[in-house]
Chains A and B, each alone.
Chain A
Amino acid sequence: MSLQENRPTTRWQRVRDNDIVWSFIHSPGAVFAAAITLFAILACVFAPLIAPFDPFDPAQISLWDGKLPPAWIEGGQPQYLLGTDNQGRDMLSTILYGGRLSIMVGAAAVCLGMVLGVTLGVISGYVGGVTDAIIMRIADVQLTIPGILLAILINGIGRAFLPLELRQEFAVYVVILAIGLTDWPQFARVTRGATLVEANKEYVQAARIIGLPGWLIMLRHILPNTLRPVLVIATIGLALAIIAEATLSFLGQGIPPTTPSLGTLIRVGNDYLFSGLWWITLFPAIALVVLVFAVNLLGDWMRDALNPKLR
């Protein structure tokens, strides 16, 4: 209509004019969430630069500094802003490093689930027939075994399977695998659904008539058009994956305490909850909840923003 005539010219104006960007800028919650997520991710990624101590380096830890309260409480020491844990590790540093691990594990797990799920989903939806039936049946089975159980199982098997010396190093990968593997059916189902819709659209048929091979059609045409819902699931999935990692670690089935993730920190700290050393569990718990909340908020907004019907 007539409004279309004054088309924006500069690139920035174009970006700003984009509906999603506009909706983002005008949604304080989303901006807030993105800010926290970004802050958390940056803080954790750059933990080695920011953190006052390296909690993974046993040589930096002094047991005599253990169980110190936060700096503002009597008995606290200024170099340990949030106090120390039972091993004498600086809480702030541990949380930063732990958050880094949690985010890394969560992101890697979601990526794994996403790559696996999207690939299988697109193939399933596009190829159809027996391939589709097999993939979807496997997904059904996967859904029949609740994720957290499967993660515990995979972890257990991983522990039993791996040789002693590898177990420590592989604990993280086992957790990633465990969570990632439980995630894929979701991605597969959504992608398959979107693929079924897209594959019937005429641009795909046009591509077929041009004579493009199936893999190219899936890759170039269908895949990019199914990514919107995938993005939403991936974001919410990231939050869930972080929780899943924390839960596994809390149950003692996850990341070992020598390189603690937030979940492991909470598990360890939980032992001190009643003894008055509340900071050992409270701070990591707050960090975890804020992180997950921010990611969720972002995902929530994204779901609404990407769903034109609800706008």
Chain B
Amino acid sequence: MTELLKTNDLDVEFPTRRGTVRAARSVSLAVGPGEVVGLVGESGAGKSTIGNAIIDLLEAPGRVSAGSILFEGEELCGRSESEMRSIRGDRIGMIFQDPQTSLNPLMTIGAQLIETIEKTCDLRGSSAKTRAVELLEQVGITEALPRLAAYPHQFSGGMRQRVVIALALAGDPDLIIADEPTTALDVSIQAQILDLLKRLCRERDLGVIIVTHDIGVVASIADRVVVMYRGEVVETGDVAQVLGAPRHEYTKSLIAAVPRADGKLDRFSSVDYIEGNVEPFQRIDIQTHWLGQAQHERTSGNAIEVEKLELSFVLQKAIIKRNRKLVRAVADVSFEVKEGETFGLVGESGSGKSTVARLIAGLHRPDAGVIRVNGQDVSSSPRSGAARDARRAVQMIFQDPYSSLNARMRVIDIVAEPIRFYRTASNEAETRKIVGELLDHVGLGAQASLRYPHEFSGGQRQRISIARALASRPRILICDEPTSALDVSVQATILNLLKDLQQELGLTMLFISHDLPVVRQMCDRIAVMRHGSLCEVADAETLFSDPQHEYSRHLLDLMPRMDLLGKAEV
């Protein structure tokens, strides 16, 4: 195979005041024409750095310190800025992760396209315009001509990413580097974009490097895979080989950690390869412990009951009611969650699943409908004492581990806040003891309590969040995409922790996710949401094996093909 691009022993350094970070070490990889190479790794593995280094757009103060980048046989390292400029766009195109921010909001799509076409193709005037229309049509945008006059904000996310791809293609490059091109998109759109890339690659004989953390994306598009770990390439090979029969330990563990959609496992296999792994559980005896004291008599009824919930958000304010623009976030949603059950809520972004969670947690007030927590109506008079007491049994774990902890507070203060506020411990010493035990219990260790959140990694922060939720002695835990911001390996350990807690404490869990495999592993029953309404509620296994609703079937179809994954040893 002729190689379009080849890097040899590429080193990238970021000199900082604390010493030099070697973001990439001796990276060698190659792409041929018409080939899609997946560059996989977890965050911080250096995969994006490679993409940026190839096109010479490393963020300051990063630099290539050693090795070479050969593009069609020519050395790219050490080229002048103007030489690189003539390569960028003309011969190598680049696609970034977030289509929301990749386009200049103040210029029309047409202007941005034509500007790029004029630079790369030496076309002017109407021929540039014709070319722009062609490009848009190629990436699947219909009625392209009038849309040239539109601004980026008038397009949806998927459409914008198509425009971004059109821009990358404008100079008819030989190589495209796509840096997490679908991460910001919904599953259904993700599939379309990946198909588009694949098609373009085939049609134009393009070389494509796709940088991603998502094994599923690699599985569905890549021909070959390069796995990176901490700046180094640990394994390279054909996609079927690497995913099906990984050789390197890291790759094995990484693939093992991917939630399986094809069957329910008892526990997630955690990625053993990671150094400095989670400390073993410090088990506490629930029955005698402070945590257990709140587990009053158990009702065998429903922990959560939701009836005909309605909620609309105001998009555009107006004094006259009928002039207001409303969006119905939740429409006629009814379901119940049994005590001790894990109930999954799935759907794409904007389907209203998070809104339902927030309604139950009391962060929004419903326009109509009833919410009962442990039999107590909490929606009709939310400020009443009884409603508040009932709500105390509900706690929530959030998606973003970074914004869900107050950066200005020490871990102890974060976790102890509910204990102190409700005076559920008899004194400060006991409070500290309980916090220490909680931190032990979630696998952080009591010594974490005096540190600040920024000293912890994403997974560790989620553990702090869990400890905080536990400190309220909840009986119901709402998990709103608790792992979607985490790496696969970390995701597994957090999900295991949640599972364990749920079993030990007999918690009721409302689990919200867009990730069907995860939901399948976690949940007893699952509700599918779309456009604010419920499509289907079913037992987990029933749903996956025999979806009733058309939309459920559609969603299941969109699940990344995992058939390449071999039965990796756990």
Contacts and interface: CB of A to CB of B under 8 A. Distances in A.
**A–B contact, 8 Å CB criterion (strictly below):** yes
Interface of A: 1-3, 22, 26, 201-203, 205-212, 216, 220-221, 224-225
A209 B408 contact: no
Contact of A208 (B362, B468, B472): B362
Contacts of A205: 358, 361, 363, 396, 398
B215 to A, nearest CB: 23
Interface stretch (B62-70, B330-338, B387-395, B551-559): B387-395
Nearest to A7: B455
Contacts of B407: 225
Contact of A211 (B392, B403, B468): B392
A202 B402 CA distance: 9
A208 to B, nearest CB: 6
B62 to A, nearest CB: 14
A221 B408 CA distance: 8
A211 B396 CA distance: 12
Kindly state the interface size class of chain B when it binds its partner.
35 or more
Given A201-B403, A203-B404, A210 B418 contact: yes
Given A211-B392, A225-B407, A225-B408, A202 B400 contact: yes
Contacts of B465: 206
Given A211-B392, A225-B406, A206 B398 contact: yes
B17 interface: yes
Contact of B19 (A3, A22, A208, A210): A3
A207 B406 CA distance: 10
24 contacts: A1-B21, A1-B44, A3-B16, A3-B19, A22-B17, A202-B403, A203-B404, A205-B396, A205-B398, A206-B396, A206-B398, A206-B404, A206-B465, A207-B406, A207-B417, A208-B363, A209-B361, A209-B362, A210-B395, A210-B418, A210-B472, A212-B421, A221-B406, A225-B408
B405 interface: yes
B220 interface: no
B79 interface: no
Contacts of B404: 201-203, 206
A221 B413 CA distance: 11
A209 B403 contact: no
User: Which of B17, B403, B405, B465 has the most CB atoms of chain A within a 10 A radius of its CB?
Assistant: B403
B138 interface: no
B48 to A, nearest CB: 14
B321 interface: no
Interface of B: 16-19, 21, 44, 230, 358, 361-363, 388, 391-392, 394-396, 398-400, 403-409, 417-418, 421-422, 465, 468-469, 472
Contacts of A22: 17
A211 B17 CA distance: 43
Nearest to A221: B406
Given A207-B417, A208-B362, A202 B398 contact: yes
Contacts of A201: 403-404
A220 B388 CA distance: 21
B512 to A, nearest CB: 13
A22 B17 CA distance: 9
Given A202-B404, A203-B406, A225-B406, A212 B399 contact: no
Nearest to A200: B403
A206 B466 CA distance: 11
A28 to B, nearest CB: 16
Contacts of A206: 396, 398, 404, 465, 468-469
A196 to B, nearest CB: 14
Contacts of A216: 421
A284 B409 CA distance: 45
A27 to B, nearest CB: 13
Given A22-B17, A202-B400, A206-B398, A212 B417 contact: yes
Contacts of A224: 406, 408-409
A221 B18 CA distance: 31
